[in-house]
C-alpha cells in the first residue's frame, strides 16, 4: 500500500521504516532541514538499535523515501500517519497540539479523496474530533476519514515492539478505515499479534491509561523498595514473589531512581490535565507523579549520606546519564535532577555515559565528562550508578576501589552484588535491599 508518514522524529521514523520493511511503499515527510538532509543522505538522526540497517535496506530496495514536501509525500497515498511531536505546553502541562493541527491542515489540502488519516502522535481524548473538524474546514467536500492508532514503542526496543507488538490498537467507527488499517498491519497480525478495534476516543485514552498504569507499577515498587530498606527485606525477592502471580506479572517491577523518558512524565501529566478538564481528578496518577518527582531528590540524599553526610568540595562520579540504557535520550532522565541536587549541595561532578554525553551537555552544566567508567571513578570521593548499561555489569569491584579516593558507591539499579562490593571494601548502598553497609 502507498503510505505517507508525517514527521520523521522518533515515532515517525521507526513507523515509516517498519512499514516499509513489511512491504509498503512509504514516503516520510519532515520539515526540519537538517534532519531531512541527514535522512536523504542515509543517516539516522536518533540512536535506535537496528534502525540504520533497516532504513538502508529499505531505501536500497526503493520502499522508503524522504521529502520536505507534504504534497509529494501524500501523492497517491491511501493512508497518512501523523507522527509529529506533542510536547507538554509550558503554560499548563497540557499536550501542545499545534504541530498535529498544522499537519492536519496540510494533509487535508494534499491528500486525495478517500484517504485515511491516522494520528500516531500521543494525543488527548477528543483530538481526533478536532483533527476531523480542521480537515473538513480546510478541504470541504473531500472525503477524509480520521482514525487513531497509538504507538507503544519502547526506545531501544522499538523495532521489535513494532514488528511483534502485544497489540495494535485502531480507533475508528468507519468500516472502510478499519479495513484499510487491517490491510496495513496484516503482515504483523498474520504473525499472531492482536489488532483491537475500538472507538477513536477509547483508542486515544488507551495510550495514556497504558502509560499511567506502567508508571504506577514502577512508583509502587519504588515505595516497596523504601519499605524493604526500613524493614530489612529485599525488593528483588518481593518483586519476584508478587510477579509470579499472573494477575500482576514481573515486568515493570524493577525498583530504581524513578521513571523518566519522553513518555511517562509527559503522558501522566497530560492524563491528569484531561481528567481535571473532565471534572474527575485521578488521585492515583496525581500521587505517582509527585512521588516520582520527590524520589529523584531522595536519591541525591542517598549519595550525600554515603559520602559521610557532606559533599561540599567533594568529587562525585556519576555512571550513566540517559533515562535508561540502549538510548542516547536525556529527556526527563533522573540523572538530571540527581546531579543538580548534588551540585546545589556543593559537589563537583564527573560523569560517563556510553551514548548520552552529547545530549547531556544540553541538559547539564559544569560536568567533567570522562571516556570510560574507570576514568570517571579515578580519585572520586563517592560514586553513583544511575543508568544500568550492560558494560557497568562487567566492572571489576577491586579495580573500581583502587581507582577511587574513597570506595563509596550508591547503586540505583542494583547492578552489583552487595556481598562482592563489601568484600572489595566498598561502602555500598543500593535500592530496597540493604541497610547502608
Q: Is 428 one of the binding residues for ligand UDX (CB under 6 A)?
A: no
- Cα 427 to Cα 437: distance, rounded to the nearest angstrom: 6
Task: For residue 413, give the nearest of 306, 312, 335 by alpha carbon.
Answer: 335
3-state SS assignment for residue 351: strand
Residue by residue, DSSP assigns 301-324 as HHHHHHTTS--TT-EEEEE--SSS
**Which one of residues 152, 208, 352, 392 is an interface residue with ligand UDX (CB under 6 A)?**
152
β-pair partners for 81: 5, 118
Query: Which part of the chain contacts ligand UDX (CB under 6 A), choosing from 26-34, 98-106, 254-262, 375-383?
Result: 254-262
In contact, 181 and 149? CB cutoff 8 Å? yes
Q: Is 149 one of the binding residues for ligand UDX (CB under 6 A)?
A: no
Q: Is 355 one of the binding residues for ligand UDX (CB under 6 A)?
A: no
Q: Is 253 one of the binding residues for ligand UDX (CB under 6 A)?
A: yes
Measured CA angle at 242 (ends 236, 244), to 5 deg: 100
Query: Please, what is the minimum distance in Å from the beta carbon of residue 332 to ligand UDX?
Result: 8
Query: Which part of the chain contacts ligand UDX (CB under 6 A), choosing from 50-58, 60-68, 83-91, 153-161?
Result: 153-161
In contact, 220 and 291? CB cutoff 8 Å? no
Query: Please, what is the minimum distance in Å from the beta carbon of residue 367 to ligand UDX?
Result: 20
- Cα 377 to Cα 403: distance, rounded to the nearest angstrom: 6
Catalytic residue among 4, 18, 74, 263: 263
Burial 188-202 (b: 16+ CB within 10 A, else e): beeeeeebebbebee
What part of residues 47-66 is at the interface with ligand UDX (CB under 6 A)? none
Reading the block at residue 50, the C-alpha cell is 537496528
Shortest-Cβ-distance residue relative to ligand UDX: 263
What part of residues 195-234 is at the interface with ligand UDX (CB under 6 A)? 211, 214, 218
**Which one of residues 21, 30, 48, 155 is an interface residue with ligand UDX (CB under 6 A)?**
155
3-state SS assignment for residue 100: helix
Complex with ligand UDX: residue 100 or 403, whichever CB lies closer: 100
Complex with ligand UDX: residue 151 or 178, whichever CB lies closer: 151
Q: In the annotation, is 376 catalytic?
A: no
Please count the residues of this chain forming the interface with ligand UDX, following the rule CB under 6 A: 20
Complex with ligand UDX: residue 253 or 384, whichever CB lies closer: 253
Complex with ligand UDX: residue 99 or 335, whichever CB lies closer: 335
Query: Which part of the chain contacts ligand UDX (CB under 6 A), choosing from 140-148, 162-170, 255-263, 392-400?
Result: 255-263
Query: Please, what is the minimum distance in Å from the beta carbon of residue 158 to ligand UDX?
Result: 8
- Cα 60 to Cα 67: distance, rounded to the nearest angstrom: 16
Q: Is 12 one of the binding residues for ligand UDX (CB under 6 A)?
A: no
Query: Which part of the chain contacts ligand UDX (CB under 6 A), choosing from 78-86, 249-257, 313-321, 351-359?
Result: 249-257
Q: Which residues are CB-contacts of 429 (< 8 A; sequence separation ≥ 6)?
A: 302, 305, 306, 409, 410, 411, 436, 437
**Which one of residues 73, 85, 128, 261 is an interface residue with ligand UDX (CB under 6 A)?**
261
In contact, 29 and 7? CB cutoff 8 Å? yes
Report CA-CA distances (Å) from 56 to 35, 43, 60, 265: 16, 9, 6, 33
Q: Is 356 one of the binding residues for ligand UDX (CB under 6 A)?
A: no
- Cα 397 to Cα 315: distance, rounded to the nearest angstrom: 19
Query: Please, what is the minimum distance in Å from the beta carbon of residue 214 to ligand UDX?
Result: 6
Q: Is 153 one of the binding residues for ligand UDX (CB under 6 A)?
A: yes
Q: Positive or negative CA dihedral for 287, 332, 335, 253? A: positive
Query: Please, what is the minimum distance in Å from the beta carbon of residue 341 to ligand UDX?
Result: 17
In contact, 65 and 38? CB cutoff 8 Å? no
Query: Please, what is the minimum distance in Å from the beta carbon of residue 218 to ligand UDX?
Result: 5
Residues in touch with ligand UDX (CB under 6 A): 151-155, 211, 214, 218, 252-254, 256, 259-264, 323-324
Residue numbers annotated as active site: 263
Amino acid at each position: 500500500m502507498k503510505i505517507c508518514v508525517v514527521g520523521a522524529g522518533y515515532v515517525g521514523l521507526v513507523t515509516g521504516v517498519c512499514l516499509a520493511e513489511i512491504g509498503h511503499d512509504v514516503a516520510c515527510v519532515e520539515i526540519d532541514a537538517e534532519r531531512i538532509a541527514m535522512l536523504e543522505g542515509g543517516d539516522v538522526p536518533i540512536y535506535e538499535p537496528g534502525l540504520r540497517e533497516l532504513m538502508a535496506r529499505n531505501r536500497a530496495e526503493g520502499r522508503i523515501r524522504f521529502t520536505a514536501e507534504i504534497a509529494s509525500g501524500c501523492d497517491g497515498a491511501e493512508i497518512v500517519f501523523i507522527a509529529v511531536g506533542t510536547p507538554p505546553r509550558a503554560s499548563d502541562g497540557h499536550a501542545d497540539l499545534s504541530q498535529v493541527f498544522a499537519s492536519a491542515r496540510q494533509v487535508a489540502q494534499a491528500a486525495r479523496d478517500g484517504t485515511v488519516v491516522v494520528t500516531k502522535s500521543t494525543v488527548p481524548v477528543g483530538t481526533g474530533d478536532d483533527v476531523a473538524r480542521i480537515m473538513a474546514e480546510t478541504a470541504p467536500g473531500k472525503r477524509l476519514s480520521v482514525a487513531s492508532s497509538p504507538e507503544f514503542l519502547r526506545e531501544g526496543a522499538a523495532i521489535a515492539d513494532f514488528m511483534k507488538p502485544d497489540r495494535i490498537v485502531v480507533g475508528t467507527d468507519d468500516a472502510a478505515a478499519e479495513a484499510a488499517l487491517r490491510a496495513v498491519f496484516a503482515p504483523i497480525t498474520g504473525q499472531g499479534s492482536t489488532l483491537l478495534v475500538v472507538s477513536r476516543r477509547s483508542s486515544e485514552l488507551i495510550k495514556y491509561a497504558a502509560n499511567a498504569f506502567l508508571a504506577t507499577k514502577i512508583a509502587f515498587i519504588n515505595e516497596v523498595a523504601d519499605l524493604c530498606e526500613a524493614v530489612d527485606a529485599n525488593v528483588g525477592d518481593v518483586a519476584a514473589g508478587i510477579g509470579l502471580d499472573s494477575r500482576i506479572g514481573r515486568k515493570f517491577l524493577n525498583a530504581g531512581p524513578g521513571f523518566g523518558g519522553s513518555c511517562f512524565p509527559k503522558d501522566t501529566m497530560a492524563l491528569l490535565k484531561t481528567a481535571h478538564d473532565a471534572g474527575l481528578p485521578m488521585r492515583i496518577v496525581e500521587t505517582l507523579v509527585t512521588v516520582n518527582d520527590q524520589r529523584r531528590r531522595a536519591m541525591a540524599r542517598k549519595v550525600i549520606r554515603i559520602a559521610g553526610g557532606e559533599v561540599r568540595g567533594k568529587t562525585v562520579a556519576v555512571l550513566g546519564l540517559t533515562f535508561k540504557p540502549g538510548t542516547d535520550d536525556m529527556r526527563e532522565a533522573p540523572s538530571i535532577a540527581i546531579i543538580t541536587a548534588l551540585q546545589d549541595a556543593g559537589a563537583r561532578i564527573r560523569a560517563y555515559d556510553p551514548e548520552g554525553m552529547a545530549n547531556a551537555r544540553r541538559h547539564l552544566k559544569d560536568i567533567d565528562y570522562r571516556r570510560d567508567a574507570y576514568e570517571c571513578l579515578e580519585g572520586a570521593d563517592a560514586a553513583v550508578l544511575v543508568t544500568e548499561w550492560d558494560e557497568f555489569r562487567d566492572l571489576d569491584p577491586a579495580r573500581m576501589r583502587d581507582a577511587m579516593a574513597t570506595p563509596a558507591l550508591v547503586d540505583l539499579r542494583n547492578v552489583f552484588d552487595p556481598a562482592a562490593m563489601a568484600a572489595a571494601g566498598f561502602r555500598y548502598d543500593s535500592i530496597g535491599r540493604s541497610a547502608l553497609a
